[in-house]
Amino acid sequence: MDLTLSFSWLEAVMLAGVRMVTFLVIAPPFSYNAIPARVKAMLAIGLALAVSPRVVPGYVSPDTAGFFGALVLEILVGGTLGFLVMVIFSAVQSAGSLIDMFGGFQLAQGFDPQAMINGAQFTRLFQMTALALLFASGGYQLIIGGLVRSFTALPLGGGLDLTVPVQAITTAVTQMFLASVQIAGPLLVVLFLADAGLGLLTRVAPALNAFALGFPLKIFLTVTLGAVVFVALPRVVSSLTGQAVDALLGVR
């Protein structure tokens, strides 16, 4: 039995795999360093084989220089899409960082080599919870589905209009800051009012040394109300997943 190998099919699968690998290295939850690089490569190859019926029919095999140019373009496209997803999900990490800063936990920050973040307790807790929720709720499947559909909007070797991803990144960064303030906003308001109340109490009765009592009070408020924010994280992650998929489909 003779087996024939189409080089055009092989090139298309390789280019799709390059986009997949670049995306998986940057975009959460797959960017987590606890996932071995070999697993990411195997997943990218499997996804490239799965999308081959979609990308191969419209692919025209170029010359050697054109193939390397298409390879660079796929790295750029995969990196841009992955960065968009990363920026959107950074809202959860930013919300935890705001809580740490206003709650007085910022001095206990440390570097997490697995998640590649530098933050205190709530920053790392919210980041790990968001990653766990993405796997537990099946949100990662929606992200992969958005990546697969990107091959329809951005064919192999077709490149992309740089003005569109720049605008999408600008919008994603704006939405990230807005979402982080919305997530941590109620707790930040309570902590600010606690500081203001302690300041007024110190002016009225300086002998009480109210600010010495402020540290345990702020820790108590942060831990208590932080639990309320933590309970709301599943809905937050679900909303961010929808925004990530819309961002993937919006890049043309």
**What number of H helices and E strands is found in the chain?**
9, 2
93 residue type, one letter:
Q
Name the burial class of residue 252, with classes exposed (0-12), middle (13-18) and buried (19+) by CB atoms within 10 angstroms of its CB: exposed
Between CA 221 and CA 191 the distance in angstroms is: 7
Residue 251 has a pLDDT of: 63
Instruction: Name 196's Cβ contacts closer than 8 Å, sequence gap at least 6.
Output: none
Amino acid (1-letter code) at residue 195: D
Provide the pLDDT for residue 160: 63
Which residues lie below 8 Å from residue 58, measured CB to CB, with a gap of 6+?
Answer: 155, 156
* Domain layout of the chain by residue ranges: 7-250
Element (H, E) at 181: helix 163-204
From the number of C-beta atoms within 10 Å of its C-beta (0-12, 13-18, 19+), residue 48 rates as buried
How many residues would you count in the chain? 252
Q: Enumerate residues 6+ apart whose C-beta is below 8 A from 151.
A: 16, 19, 51, 54, 55
What pLDDT score does 164 carry?
62
pLDDT of residue 3: 53
pLDDT in tens, the chain (252 residues): 555 667 778 888 888 888 899 998 888 888 888 888 888 888 888 888 888 888 878 777 777 787 788 888 888 888 888 888 888 888 888 888 888 888 877 777 777 777 777 777 888 888 888 888 888 888 888 888 888 888 887 777 666 666 666 677 777 777 777 778 778 877 888 888 887 877 787 777 776 676 677 777 788 888 888 788 888 888 888 888 888 888 777 665
Retrieve residue 151's tokens.
């091959």
Beta-carbon neighbour count of residue 167 at 10 Å? 13
CA distances from 247 to 114, 140, 173 (A): 26, 15, 12
